[in-house]
Structure 1
Amino acid sequence: MITFYTVISWLSFFCYWLLVAGVTLRILMKRRAVPSAMAWLLIIYILPLVGIVTYFLFGELHLGKRRAERAKSMWPSTANWLKALKDYQHIFATQNSEVAIPLFKLCERRQGISGVKGNQLQLLTHADDTLKALIQDIEQARHNIEMVFYIWQSGGLVDQVVESLIAAASRGVHCRLMLDSAGSRQFFRSSSPMKMRNAGIEVVEALKVNLFRVFLRRMDLRQHRKVVLIDNFIAYTGSMNMVDPRFFKQNAGVGQWIDLMVRMEGPVATTIGVVYACDWEIETGKRILPPPPDVNVMPFEQKSSHIIQVIASGPGFPEELIHQALLTAVYAARRQLIMTTPYFVPSDDLLHAICTAAHRGVDVNIIVPRNNDSMMVRWASRSFFAELLESGVKIYQFEDGLLHSKSVLVDGQLSLVGTANLDMRSLWLNFEITLLVDDAAFGSDLARVQDDYMARSVLLDAEQWAKRSVRYRVTERLFYFFSPLL
């Protein structure tokens, strides 16, 4: 009997270390950033069983067999559609500003199309203005309305959006709504989905959370885009979820969420429509590629203004493109770089690019909320502040609510606005969307918004920061090691 238990013990010990060795080899064989790989190895060796299970759940990008097959099969038809779109040469920009050339070239080569011109843009900085404009556009819709959001929560003006969608569906407008399962879990537990489906609106629960399939698909992969498309001509995107801030996370202790949205008219709606069509096909298996743009409707006819390139990320889309775009934008800066983000956990490459920009004389400003709704991110982000401050970067801590806007402005000319945070999840994992806008007038509008953010912030003092306690420093480094999960 003793021999039997001894054999079992040795077999268990051998199998355990074989599993640890196998996972270690898998981590080392994957092409990932060295800090990310080291963090995973530390987690696995410090908390062996928990670390191994956590790695299988969150360490690799598994879209799921069915979605992966759809993502692979959709590209031939999408590529043909993009090839046909190139026949509409008058919508594509043939020249860019000096600061934007490298970034637009990168996106053209990786995505297959150039930036489009002839668009009209409007920055929306208040939730009420955004929701009221959206309600008005829905009321005037004639053909189709497509939406995708990470969070949809009832209350306030959002209820009017729902009523407007139901009214649109009743008059024959084809309405599609795709919402992330985890982000919109309260919505899917309410009566709203059934009410909307009964009205004829297609409501899809994207990346449905299912505990029985945790090892078959990565459960924290999220549909993080925020997009509205109306009649293949009007488009919205930006940082705002479908929520009324007066009714959203009131008990979180961080104040109302402050967001930034862009309302667009013109050919850019067509390129955003391609992204939506791909998302819809990955999730449902149904193909809905949009029609080509109306050749007779271009609201802004100047040849080299209001140029927009759309970047989409996530499984099935060009890998690491948003990360590459951010690096390219930072390295292109010559005079000024302003970045706003609620969650600042950058890759080493992005951190070094930002510090290098400051070292070569660029006026670098980063605006983050003093408090946000993620304790882990709050502590992890602070672990980067010392290096940034030593490089001459100015860090502003926004105090008038949770600054949720995601924006980058380079030399007042090149703007990046969208859904991607400056953290690992947005840069490497989630379905995100970012607009690249090469236009000085739009850049001026964005600069005014960012100046307002800075006026409502406190500039971090480098000397005071250097005096923070050892306890704070240790806590920052501890949470830094969890950055692959943030």
Structure 2
Amino acid sequence: MKGFQIQQKGERRISAALRIMLVIFLLAVQIALVVAISYFMQEYLALAYAVVQVAALFLAIRIYNEPGELSYKLIWFILLLLAPPVGMILWFLWGGAAQKRHLPQNGKRVPDEPESVRKRSALAVERLTRQLPGWSRTANYLCRRDFQLYQDTRVTYLPEGALLLRELIEQAKKAERFIFLEYFILAEGRLWSELEKILCAKAHEGVEVKIIFDDFGNIKRFRGETIDRLRDAGVEVFIFNPVHEYVNRLYFNYRDHRKIACFDGDVAYTGGVNIADEYANLIERFGYWKDSGVRLEGDGTWGLTASFIHMCINIGGVMHNEHDYYRPHTPVRSEGFCQPFTDGPQNNPDNPAEDVFLQMISSARRFLYITTPYFIPDESVMRTLCIAGDGGVDVRLMLPGKPDHWYADWVAESYFGNLLAHGVKIYRYTPGFLHAKSIMVDREAAFVGSVNMDYRSFELHCECGVMVYGAPMIESLLEDMDAIVDQSHLVTAEEWAKRSVVRRVLEPLLRLFAIWM
């Protein structure tokens, strides 16, 4: 894949500190050039500067007419208005033009699903329509984007990161054919030390072990020596989007934010949990780390396995020619339906995650519960949430009590007043950092995955998740959400109005930079 690159053995020897310094230096050089060119044009080329102003106007019109939320285009309008040369050069370096140059092209894909699989999915949609008619729209929407609907899948909700990670290690021990891991963060520590030994041993036994991880998420947490040990043991390691190779891609945060683990085709995991000690509360960061995920067993695991295969092929990996080798082998009977899906910047502006979220919010009739660590909504999400609140839906938004990034939290808080005015209840998780990403609607449908409710997840990141309809797992999720509410502080309009003058001034300014948070 031309846009997103991988690194081979030895290429990660340069230290994290040097790589960060290199990126900062290159960014500084680009900014200095932009300022110098702008100054030169202002001082010595009045006619050229006038031409640039006209060109900036046409560029602003072009940006306005491109797909996407107007609120996220505002920062570009301001740059083009205040400093036309700077705004234009930054746009072509880091804006839409750069996005189109460096986004991956879907040239190599997993072969199309057999007709028998598509027919089973169509039958599942018919059954879902009879059982839960309100959710056929969402299921059909995802099917039209080649994300099949599955029955015969046992979905188990895992309310703690420690529980999911312990299961992941035990599944790795039992794997006989393949182990696929795709994570934003793989951090060295107690968990990784145990898992690394298992992965290397399995590779020696002939098990196919493949790992994809995001370079930016691990720039200071996963050493080159560790990668070399894995590769020497026979583990295939792919580094997604090395940060020092394309400064513009670093700046725009194209990241593989997915969390996928697949074992032998029969078991798969996803959710908000990365492989790092804080996710199991083995070390403390921002108080108690609350996270969650799901385990899939049966037909639906193929949705996550196929997503991994697609990513692996597109960043240079080699898979078995017969993809049936990776399909589930152990039949499972269970209630309900599940629909794994993925999301990524190469699909813009036709990404499914935000559309699915909007459909879930608008479908709520009785109650709508949401957990997310980052809340930087666009106009569509805000409007739909407010309409739900005004319509009498019990809307509960659960956010961290101890955030990891103060600026993102300040931006999130800037939206509270409008939400509270429309009847939305906002809860701050008192014990610490709420990192779970989930939505539950009317005890009928739920989402669990890696998607945050912000611009990064909707537009810039590669994400994943599972829609679940009419399955027992939804009750387990509801119980966990009730427990979160019990441990949380309910935000009131009165206390929100009393926040400091500094916050009131900075919050709307920080909103302008939401696309980079």
Q: Report how far residue 106 of structure 1 moved.
A: 1.5
The question of 1:366 aligning with 2:397 is answered yes
The question of 1:214 aligning with 2:247 is answered yes
Contact persistence 1:396–1:457 (CA under 8 A): yes
Q: Distance in 2 between matches of 1:277 and 1:295?
A: 14
Contact persistence 1:149–1:180 (CA under 8 A): yes
Q: Report how far residue 314 of structure 1 moved.
A: 0.5
- Aligned twin of 1:17: 53
Q: Distance in 2 between matches of 1:114 and 1:384?
A: 35
Q: Report how far residue 210 of structure 1 moved.
A: 2.4
Q: Report how far residue 453 of structure 1 moved.
A: 1.1
The question of 1:313 aligning with 2:343 is answered yes
Contact persistence 1:57–1:215 (CA under 8 A): yes
Q: Report how far residue 65 of structure 1 moved.
A: 5.4
Contact persistence 2:165–2:280 (CA under 8 A): no
Q: Report how far residue 349 of structure 1 moved.
A: 0.6
Q: Report how far residue 257 of structure 1 moved.
A: 2.6
The secondary structure found in structure 1 opposite 2:104 is helix
1:223-238 equivalence runs, <5 A: 223-238=256-271
Q: Report how far residue 385 of structure 1 moved.
A: 0.4
Q: Look up the equivalent residue of 1:107 and give its one-letter code.
A: L
1:182-331 equivalence runs, <5 A: 182-211=216-245, 213-215=246-248, 219-245=252-278, 254-284=286-316, 286=318, 290-291=323-324, 297-301=330-334, 305-317=335-347, 319-331=350-362
- Aligned twin of 2:29: none
Q: 1:299 to 1:62 in 2, by over 3 A?
A: farther
Q: Distance in 2 between matches of 1:60 and 1:286?
A: 31
The secondary structure found in structure 2 opposite 1:100 is helix
Q: Report how far residue 346 of structure 1 moved.
A: 0.8
Q: Distance in 2 between matches of 1:144 and 1:238?
A: 20
The secondary structure found in structure 2 opposite 1:361 is coil
Q: Distance in 1 between matches of 2:467 and 2:85?
A: 43
Give CA-to-partner distance per residue, 1:375-413, whole Å, 9 cap, x none: 221111111100100001100011212110000000012
The question of 1:166 aligning with 2:200 is answered yes
Q: 1:130 to 1:82 in 2, by over 3 A?
A: same
Moved more, 199-208 or 472-481: 472-481
- Aligned twin of 2:437: 406
Q: Distance in 1 between matches of 2:124 and 2:142?
A: 13
Q: 1:120 to 1:349 in 2, by over 3 A?
A: same
Q: Report how far residue 430 of structure 1 moved.
A: 0.8
Q: Report how far residue 59 of structure 1 moved.
A: 3.1
Contact persistence 1:394–1:460 (CA under 8 A): yes
The secondary structure found in structure 2 opposite 1:220 is coil
- Aligned twin of 2:153: 119
Q: Report how far residue 203 of structure 1 moved.
A: 0.5
Moved more, 336-345 or 44-53: 44-53
- Aligned twin of 1:28: 64
Contact persistence 1:313–1:433 (CA under 8 A): yes
Q: Distance in 2 between matches of 1:161 and 1:296?
A: 25
Give CA-to-partner distance per residue, 1:115-143, whole Å, 9 cap, x none: 10111122222232222211111111000
* Percent of residue pairs identical: 26
- Aligned twin of 1:40: 76
Q: Distance in 2 between matches of 1:197 and 1:5?
A: 52
Give CA-to-partner distance per residue, 1:150-209, whole Å, 9 cap, x none: 011011222111111111111110000000010011244342101111000000100111
The question of 1:459 aligning with 2:494 is answered no
Q: Distance in 2 between matches of 1:6 and 1:46?
A: 13
Q: Report how far residue 420 of structure 1 moved.
A: 0.4
Q: Report how far residue 36 of structure 1 moved.
A: 1.6
Contact persistence 2:268–2:295 (CA under 8 A): yes
Q: Distance in 1 between matches of 2:279 and 2:141?
A: 40
Q: Distance in 1 between matches of 2:121 and 2:374?
A: 39
Q: Distance in 2 between matches of 1:322 and 1:246?
A: 24
Q: Distance in 2 between matches of 1:403 and 1:242?
A: 16
Q: 1:406 to 1:209 in 2, by over 3 A?
A: same
Contact persistence 2:298–2:328 (CA under 8 A): no
Contact persistence 2:160–2:280 (CA under 8 A): no
- Aligned twin of 1:391: 422
The secondary structure found in structure 2 opposite 1:139 is helix
The secondary structure found in structure 1 opposite 2:138 is helix
Give CA-to-partner distance per residue, 1:289-345, whole Å, 9 cap, x none: 7327768732224xxx23101121113447221111011111110000000000000
TM, length-normalised to structure 2? 0.84
Contact persistence 1:176–1:203 (CA under 8 A): yes
Q: 1:415 to 1:292 in 2, by over 3 A?
A: farther
The secondary structure found in structure 1 opposite 2:466 is strand
Q: How many positions carry a matched residue from both structures? A: 473
Q: Distance in 2 between matches of 1:312 and 1:206?
A: 16
Q: Look up the equivalent residue of 2:256 and give its one-letter code.
A: Q
Gaps (5+ residues) in structure 1? none
Structural RMSD (CA): 2.9
Q: Look up the equivalent residue of 1:100 and give its one-letter code.
A: W
Q: 1:224 to 1:34 in 2, by over 3 A?
A: same
Q: Report how far residue 50 of structure 1 moved.
A: 5.8
Q: Look up the equivalent residue of 1:270 and give its one-letter code.
A: W
Gaps (5+ residues) in structure 2? 1-39
Moved more, 27-36 or 15-24: 15-24
